[in-house]
Amino acid sequence: MKTNDICEKTLADMEEGDKARIVKVGGVGAIKRRLLDMGIGRGEVLKVERYAPLKDPIQINIKGYSLALRVSEGRLIRVEEIS
Protein backbone atom coordinates (compact mmCIF):
# COMPACT_ATOMS: atom_id res chain seq x y z
CA MET A 1 0.00 0.00 0.00
CA LYS A 2 2.35 2.69 -1.22
CA THR A 3 -0.57 4.96 -1.99
CA ASN A 4 -0.93 6.43 1.44
CA ASP A 5 2.11 8.24 2.74
CA ILE A 6 0.89 8.42 6.30
CA CYS A 7 1.01 4.66 6.56
CA GLU A 8 4.73 4.71 5.88
CA LYS A 9 5.48 6.75 8.96
CA THR A 10 7.00 4.99 11.92
CA LEU A 11 7.27 5.88 15.57
CA ALA A 12 10.84 6.97 14.93
CA ASP A 13 9.55 9.78 12.68
CA MET A 14 7.42 11.28 15.41
CA GLU A 15 8.40 14.40 17.30
CA GLU A 16 8.20 15.17 20.97
CA GLY A 17 4.59 15.69 21.98
CA ASP A 18 3.11 13.98 18.93
CA LYS A 19 0.23 11.57 19.26
CA ALA A 20 -0.14 8.63 16.95
CA ARG A 21 -2.17 5.50 16.37
CA ILE A 22 -0.36 2.25 15.75
CA VAL A 23 -1.02 0.76 12.35
CA LYS A 24 1.23 -2.26 12.38
CA VAL A 25 3.97 -3.76 14.49
CA GLY A 26 6.83 -5.20 12.47
CA GLY A 27 9.88 -7.23 13.40
CA VAL A 28 10.07 -10.90 14.21
CA GLY A 29 10.71 -13.25 17.11
CA ALA A 30 11.69 -11.90 20.50
CA ILE A 31 11.64 -8.23 19.56
CA LYS A 32 8.20 -8.30 18.07
CA ARG A 33 6.81 -10.34 20.94
CA ARG A 34 8.35 -8.03 23.45
CA LEU A 35 6.73 -5.01 21.84
CA LEU A 36 3.38 -6.77 21.70
CA ASP A 37 3.65 -7.90 25.31
CA MET A 38 4.24 -4.33 26.38
CA GLY A 39 0.92 -3.36 24.87
CA ILE A 40 2.14 -2.00 21.56
CA GLY A 41 -0.56 -3.34 19.29
CA ARG A 42 -2.62 -2.29 16.32
CA GLY A 43 -5.09 0.48 16.97
CA GLU A 44 -3.43 1.58 20.19
CA VAL A 45 -2.84 5.31 20.69
CA LEU A 46 0.51 6.50 21.98
CA LYS A 47 2.11 9.80 22.80
CA VAL A 48 5.78 10.63 22.36
CA GLU A 49 6.86 12.10 25.68
CA ARG A 50 10.43 12.89 24.78
CA TYR A 51 13.66 11.73 23.27
CA ALA A 52 16.65 10.98 25.50
CA PRO A 53 19.40 13.62 25.59
CA LEU A 54 21.22 11.89 22.74
CA LYS A 55 18.03 11.58 20.67
CA ASP A 56 17.70 7.88 21.40
CA PRO A 57 15.87 6.05 23.05
CA ILE A 58 12.33 7.40 22.88
CA GLN A 59 10.00 7.72 25.85
CA ILE A 60 6.37 7.12 24.99
CA ASN A 61 3.15 6.93 26.91
CA ILE A 62 0.91 4.03 26.06
CA LYS A 63 -1.98 2.47 27.95
CA GLY A 64 -1.33 4.98 30.69
CA TYR A 65 2.25 4.10 31.44
CA SER A 66 5.70 5.19 30.33
CA LEU A 67 7.83 3.06 28.07
CA ALA A 68 11.33 3.59 26.70
CA LEU A 69 12.43 2.00 23.47
CA ARG A 70 15.19 2.57 21.00
CA VAL A 71 14.78 4.39 17.74
CA SER A 72 15.68 1.17 15.95
CA GLU A 73 12.71 -0.50 17.62
CA GLY A 74 10.59 2.54 16.94
CA ARG A 75 11.19 1.97 13.22
CA LEU A 76 9.38 -1.34 13.50
CA ILE A 77 6.21 0.39 14.61
CA ARG A 78 4.19 1.88 11.78
CA VAL A 79 1.93 4.67 12.95
CA GLU A 80 -0.45 7.32 11.70
CA GLU A 81 -0.30 10.69 13.31
CA ILE A 82 -3.42 12.02 14.98
CA SER A 83 -3.99 15.53 16.14
Site string for other proteins, 2-41 (x = CB under 8 A): -----------------------x---xxxxxxxxxxx-x
Pick the closer one to other proteins by CB: 13 or 59: 59
Q: In 3D, which of 82, 75, 76 has the Cα closest to residue 13?
A: 75
Structural contact between residues 76 and 62, judged by C-beta atoms closer than 8 angstroms: no
Pick the closer one to other proteins by CB: 15 or 30: 30
Residue from 13, 57, 75, 80 binding other proteins (CB under 8 A): 57
* 81 vs 46: CA distance, rounded Å: 10
